[in-house]
Structure 1
């Protein structure tokens, strides 16, 4: 599947969503010299660590954390800076994102899972609906792919499973760059190990090679045949 991707854009709600959901996949695509873009719809200014008080410059802090997390990956970062408490599937948010997606002209789009029963955050659901609306209308977008929700209890039904060797430490390191989120459960390395167990159960895969320590799961929403 990944070998057929010519260029990819990942659209997320918050600055740390991509690292949690598909860091290893983005890292792999970067190693294959696939042009990559990451669009962050909000600055994450309402998301602060549960063990500390909100900081006035949290939006700038979270941008710095994101750039640190992806410092070793060749990926272009784009910030939409929408307000978190107003993000919805409306004309303003659709049109502003659509202009950027048209400019980037990528054939593959990754985003949050898009069903209410999958949702672990209202902004994730809103972004998924916005992105799906755009992708369904653009012929140059060949692949729309949802990545797994953070909440392992969500009724997510993936049909694409990607395994990576010796990747756990690098993915955990990227997530750990988001120190403004210190205290959240996904900052603990055990979160990744638990996610692997959940994804293995979803794939009905009974075992995993010792050196393949990260499994990321996805739902391939559609894959269009390329024009010839």
Structure 2
């Protein structure tokens, strides 16, 4: 089945995950005429040392919306609890509803293998939601089944490694060199997360860390900056690489 709806949905775990991992690719797709939608499973309500859950949720959702606005993108939050993203019926139905509402032909989500369980659960939930959005016996109020399985891509694991420190190699790298300033500007919207990382992780090089890893991936394809992806190629999912078809020589398959 062919889908001519040029919409890409980036649905990640927390505000700032997309800016770190796939904002450059989203910007490139926008230049190709794609509609960009950004979403998070949680509002990042545990990412603070000073605010209540309600306070930090409001702050971080506004930061996410501000970053999304740089791509003229809508932002959605599924309102799951930070640190407690669960692979359960309620959460999967929320994700299915978002897919039915936005009707993407491409979905980008978290790596199945990463340092944080929220990231890994998000990956599993979105895999199921993409596959199940067309199942008529799963009811989402006011939304009809979406009879199309989107192309599904997983972003790089954080720092490109699994929980054991072993490399998680991407199947392709997108040259985002022309979009690195926009990616940086989008990430800079997340001021509250920088403060949290400084206080909790002892890490105050938020943007530098993003750019450093982008340089690492870029070097692998003789470019200044890159973003890595793996495509879900299991049964019933599209087998063609639509990112390559849309972005051409900027996509380096491995």
TM > 0.5 between the two?
yes
Matched residue, 1:141: 149
Q: TM-score, normalised by structure 1?
A: 0.82
Aligned pair partner of 1:78 in 71, 76, 85: 76
Q: Deviations over 1:76-134 (max 9, x none)?
A: 111111112431111111112112211221111100011xxx21211111110101112
Q: Deviations over 1:3-48 (max 9, x none)?
A: x982211111111111001011111112222122112111101012
> What SS is found at the alignment partner of 1:158?
coil
How many pairs align? 209
1:179, distance to aligned residue in structure 2 (A):
0.9
Tell whether the 8 Å contact from 1:109 to 1:141 is kept in structure 2 after alignment: no
Matched residue, 1:62: 60
Question: Aligned partners of 2:91 and 2:207: how far apart in 1?
Answer: 34
Tell whether the 8 Å contact from 2:110 to 2:156 is kept in structure 1 after alignment: yes
Tell me the C-alpha RMSD between the 2 structures. 2.3
Q: TM-score, normalised by structure 2?
A: 0.74
Tell whether the 8 Å contact from 1:152 to 1:198 is kept in structure 2 after alignment: no
Question: Aligned partners of 2:204 and 2:6: how far apart in 1?
Answer: 31
- Which ranges in structure 1 are unaligned for 5 or more consecutive residues? none
1:71, distance to aligned residue in structure 2 (A):
2.5
**1:180 matched to 2:176:** no
> What SS is found at the alignment partner of 1:199?
helix
Matched residue, 2:96: 98
- Which ranges in structure 2 are unaligned for 5 or more consecutive residues? 135-146, 198-202, 241-254
Higher relative strand content: 1
1:188, distance to aligned residue in structure 2 (A):
3.3
Tell whether the 8 Å contact from 1:111 to 1:146 is kept in structure 2 after alignment: yes
Tell whether the 8 Å contact from 1:162 to 1:215 is kept in structure 2 after alignment: yes
Aligned pair partner of 2:174 in 151, 157, 162: 162
Larger relative contact order (Cα-Cα within 8 Å, sequence gap ≥ 6): 1
Following superposition of structure 1 onto structure 2, how do residues 22-41 of structure 1 map, counting pairs within 5 Å? 22-41=22-41
Aligned in 2, Cα 1:142/1:71: closer, same or farther, shift over 3 Å? closer
The runs of at least 4 aligned residues of structure 1 exceeding 4 Å deviation read none
Aligned pair partner of 1:121 in 116, 124, 128: 116
